[in-house]
Amino acid sequence: MNEKNYNVGLKVFAVTSAEADVALEDDNAYDSIIMTPIDSDVDQNIDGLTISRWCDDGIIPNIIFTIFPSKDDSGVTIETSPPNLVTVRVCHKCSHFQFLWNTNVSSIATSGGIRIGIPPGQLKTVTVSDGNNAQILDGFTNITELQVSRGGVIRASMTSLISTELHLSNVRGQMYVQTNKPVTSGGVAGGQSWIETPSFNKVRVYENGSELNIKGDVDFGDFGTGVNVGAQLTVTGTIKETISCEKNSTVNAPSCDNVYTDDSSTCNAGPQSVDVDVDVRKLTPNDQTLNGTYNICGDEVSPSPPPSSPLPTSSAPDVALTVLADEDSAITFTPIEFNVKYQGYHRISIDISCDGKSSSVPNTMFTIFPSKDGNDVTVETSPANLVTVRIDEYGDFGFKWNPTIASTATSGAGVRIGYPSNQLKEVWVHDGYNVQIVDGFTDIIRVTVEKGSILHASMTSLVSTELELINYGGQMYVETNVPVTVGSVNRGGQSWVKTPSYNDIYVWDDAKLSIIGDVDVRNKFLSSVSDDSQLTVTGTITGTIICDDDSIVNAPSCDNIDSSDDSTCNAGPQNVDVDVNDPSQNNQILNGTCRCVNGGNVLLVSSSTSVYICSSGGSTNSFAIAIGLTTATAVIVITAMLIYYVKTKGRWW
């Protein structure tokens, strides 16, 4: 049987540190499980880990990743149980490790664990995503950022920190953290976090089901703080400054004196209890393996029965996709035949796994349009059968590459998704994809883009009264006929929005938001521009916007801008161009190819003048890429398997 490797998706960044190692406590009480060092050289210059999962149809063991401070002079070490569970491959262009399944072992293993030892002063960032479990043992001194996403679980004991900066981000995951230092900033969107800390600053919790439980005080010191859209915050200590709670949200705290609530939200005053289960004990083998197996992605084309709740109703008719005639065009879209119906699925997720090998896939445009005459969900691709349809682990309508077709397609790739106009409610565009939404949808309430993704959306037929626009480091171009209820742009993202009114605004971390329309601040505690960001508004600003930390606001008037900390407001006429694109047939494909490296790393390798930048260990590598738009666009391209951090001004984002 030939050995076959699949990507687990661990990325390690390079750096060096002079901090002293902290010895790990030994415990050999258990000898039934043996951790075996991998049989290959391990790069010693690392400061960050990204643990994510590539999807395949195979069976693999449940795994826990244990990250511990290496003792004495042992440096960076990697061990697995059972032996040879994974192999390590180095991506020299990106300066990271890739952990690959050894299916000779993983296909028959019934439990699994991976231990990663790193000198305690060397590790700075850890990201865990896609259902992976990781634990960080105490003793690290310089960790500055933890992130979980998409079902990832992280437990971390960090009571030896000497670093003065700590950021915690949770997007649809679970996080359990104990730290001896204040949390500089943190957010929860769709996930749950339990944090024990002297103080938690810059708190932001939003989206139904989100929970942030803090054993300690809240002293945010920033106006970009609040609990919103069905979220919950529980605090055992003192809330030292005013925090907002809006849109069916809840705050539990010893006192509600500094909690602002709207009519739909609640603050419960009284003693609170928070249990932070970091579940990190001595480094014994039984604590570092998980039992059982699972199918990595599950059933691809036979989803569970859709929700039984009725679809929202709307009096607006379905709107057919307008395709400009082009008799000379050789582009043909071929329907995918379904054996199930997808009427109950209201959310589209653009997040496609690769085929597990270093293979070529085409640059692809995803076009989402209102289906004709009330038809059910339809999918067409060019070339034919480019993708298959799946329901992902979160119940979202999504896709997977068909490697037989994708690996040979060299140009002209597109996927068209038809949805009844009143069925689609949410679109989530994950790292590095190009998506356009055609006008005619009536009930969209939330659009989210992530790092490196590009979205153009015409939404001038909406009847919904709620609309959220969230940008985690991508590019967003949106035109809408209804006000934007709330929106955020961060991590270097850029948004251009045309709307009658844009309400609560949150722009931070080198981000830009440009608005054609008015701004009507409903909550001054959630309306701010900070951390070297920029807001441009063509219309009238009603209510106060906070502008601080070297940020800029451009508006006709600065009367309602509260600027501080080297920030500026420029008053005068403003010009904003919102290009939502023309979804003609030729605009529904992208040319060129990209490299799907080991199941997760998408590198665009065509000949455009656009530049893909990967910064690692103080050096910068540039790669030529093709975006397929009319202007060269520099983006960071990321898939679910690999997250790139670009170091700017000493921060990882």
Segment 492-499 long-range contacts (CB within 8 Å, at least 24 positions apart): 492/646, 492/648, 492/653, 493/449, 495/469, 495/471, 496/576, 496/577, 496/578, 496/579, 497/469, 497/578, 498/576, 498/578
Q: Is the pLDDT confidence value at 582 over 90?
A: no
> Hey, what's the torsion of the CAs at 417, 422, 424, 426, to 10 degrees?
150
pLDDT bucket at 405, cuts 50 / 70 / 90: confident
Structure tokens at 28: 């050999």
Q: Is the pLDDT confidence value at 46 over 90?
A: no
What DSSP letter does each residue of 312-376 carry, written as one string? PP-SSPP-PPP----TT-----EEPPPSS--TT--EEEE--B--SSSEEEE-EEEEEEEPGGG--
Nearest to 163 by CA among 17, 44, 10: 17
Q: Picking from 106-120, 327-341, 392-406, which range would have the lowest pLDDT averaged per residue?
A: 327-341
Select the highest-mean-pLDDT range: 10-19, 43-52, 627-636: 43-52
Q: What contacts 347, CB < 8 A, 6 or more positions away? A: 395, 396, 397, 424, 425, 426, 427, 428
Rounded Cα gap, residues 286 and 300, in angstroms: 33
Residue 532 in 3-state DSSP? coil
Mean pLDDT, the chain, as a whole number? 74
Average of per-residue pLDDT across 36-49: 73
Select the highest-mean-pLDDT range: 92-96, 123-127, 590-594, 638-642: 123-127
The pLDDT score that the predictor gives to residue 190 is: 82
The pLDDT score that the predictor gives to residue 373 is: 66
Cβ count near 102 (within 10 Å) = 20
Average of per-residue pLDDT across 111-136: 86
Taking a C-beta distance cutoff of 8 angstroms, is the pair 649, 635 a contact?
no
Residue 588 in 3-state DSSP? helix
Select the highest-mean-pLDDT range: 302-316, 345-359, 484-498: 484-498
What DSSP letter does each residue of 460-485 carry, written as one string? -S---S--EEEEESSEEEEEESS-EE
The pLDDT score that the predictor gives to residue 277 is: 87
Q: Picking from 44-53, 376-385, 490-499, 558-567, which range would have the lowest pLDDT averaged per residue?
A: 44-53
Average of per-residue pLDDT across 595-600: 46
Q: How far apart are the first and last CA of the chain?
A: 43
What DSSP letter does each residue of 177-234 carry, written as one string? EEESS-BSEEEEESSEEEEEEEEE-SEEEESTT-EEEEEEEE---SSS-EEESS-EEE
The pLDDT score that the predictor gives to residue 573 is: 96
Q: Is the pLDDT confidence value at 360 over 90?
A: no
The pLDDT score that the predictor gives to residue 84 is: 78
Dihedral pair phi/psi, residue 62, rounded to 5°: -60, 140
Q: Is the pLDDT confidence value at 356 over 90?
A: no
List, for residues 516-540, the tens digit of each pLDDT value: 999 998 766 568 898 899 999 999 9
User: Which burial class, exposed, middle or buried, applies to 313 when counting CB atoms under 10 A from its CB (0-12, 13-18, 19+)?
Assistant: exposed
The pLDDT score that the predictor gives to residue 372 is: 76
Nearest to 185 by CA among 176, 195, 158: 195
Q: Which residue has the higher pLDDT, 629 or 67?
A: 67
Instruction: Work out the percent of the chain whose per-residue pLDDT is above 70.
Output: 70
Q: Is the pLDDT confidence value at 471 over 70?
A: yes
Average of per-residue pLDDT across 304-321: 31
Q: Is the pLDDT confidence value at 259 over 80?
A: yes
> Hey, what's the torsion of the CAs at 419, 425, 431, 432, to 10 degrees?
40
Cβ count near 291 (within 10 Å) = 9
Q: What contacts 328, CB < 8 A, 6 or more positions away? A: none
Q: Is the pLDDT confidence value at 322 over 60?
A: no
> Hey, what's the torsion of the CAs at 511, 517, 518, 522, to 10 degrees?
-60
Nearest to 539 by CA among 501, 511, 489: 501
> Hey, what's the torsion of the CAs at 429, 497, 534, 258, to 10 degrees?
-80
Instruction: Work out the percent of the chain whose per-residue pLDDT is above 90.
Output: 33
Taking a C-beta distance cutoff of 8 angstroms, is the pair 283, 26 a contact?
yes
The pLDDT score that the predictor gives to residue 561 is: 93
List, for residues 548-579, the tens digit of each pLDDT value: 889 999 999 999 999 988 899 999 999 999 98
Q: Which residue has the higher pLDDT, 326 or 79?
A: 79
Average of per-residue pLDDT across 146-157: 88
Q: What contacts 41, CB < 8 A, 6 or more positions away? A: none
The pLDDT score that the predictor gives to residue 635 is: 31
Taking a C-beta distance cutoff of 8 angstroms, is the pair 170, 32 a contact?
no
Residue 23 in 3-state DSSP? coil
Taking a C-beta distance cutoff of 8 angstroms, is the pair 175, 193 a contact?
yes
Q: Which residue has the higher pLDDT, 605 or 269?
A: 269
Q: Which residue has the higher pLDDT, 208 or 334?
A: 334
- Model confidence, pTM: 0.54
Q: Which residue has the higher pLDDT, 31 or 629?
A: 31
The residue type at 647 = K
Structure tokens at 236: 């055992």
Upstream peptide bond of 383 is cis (omega within 30 degrees of 0)? yes
Q: Can you name the residues that pair with 481 across neighbouring β-strands? A: none
Select the highest-mean-pLDDT range: 57-61, 64-68, 242-246, 478-482: 478-482
Rounded Cα gap, residues 134 and 177, in angstroms: 12
CA–centroid distance for 183 within its chain: 20
Q: What contacts 377, CB < 8 A, 6 or more positions away? A: 338, 341, 342, 343, 345, 371, 397, 417, 418, 419, 420, 423
The pLDDT score that the predictor gives to residue 234 is: 97
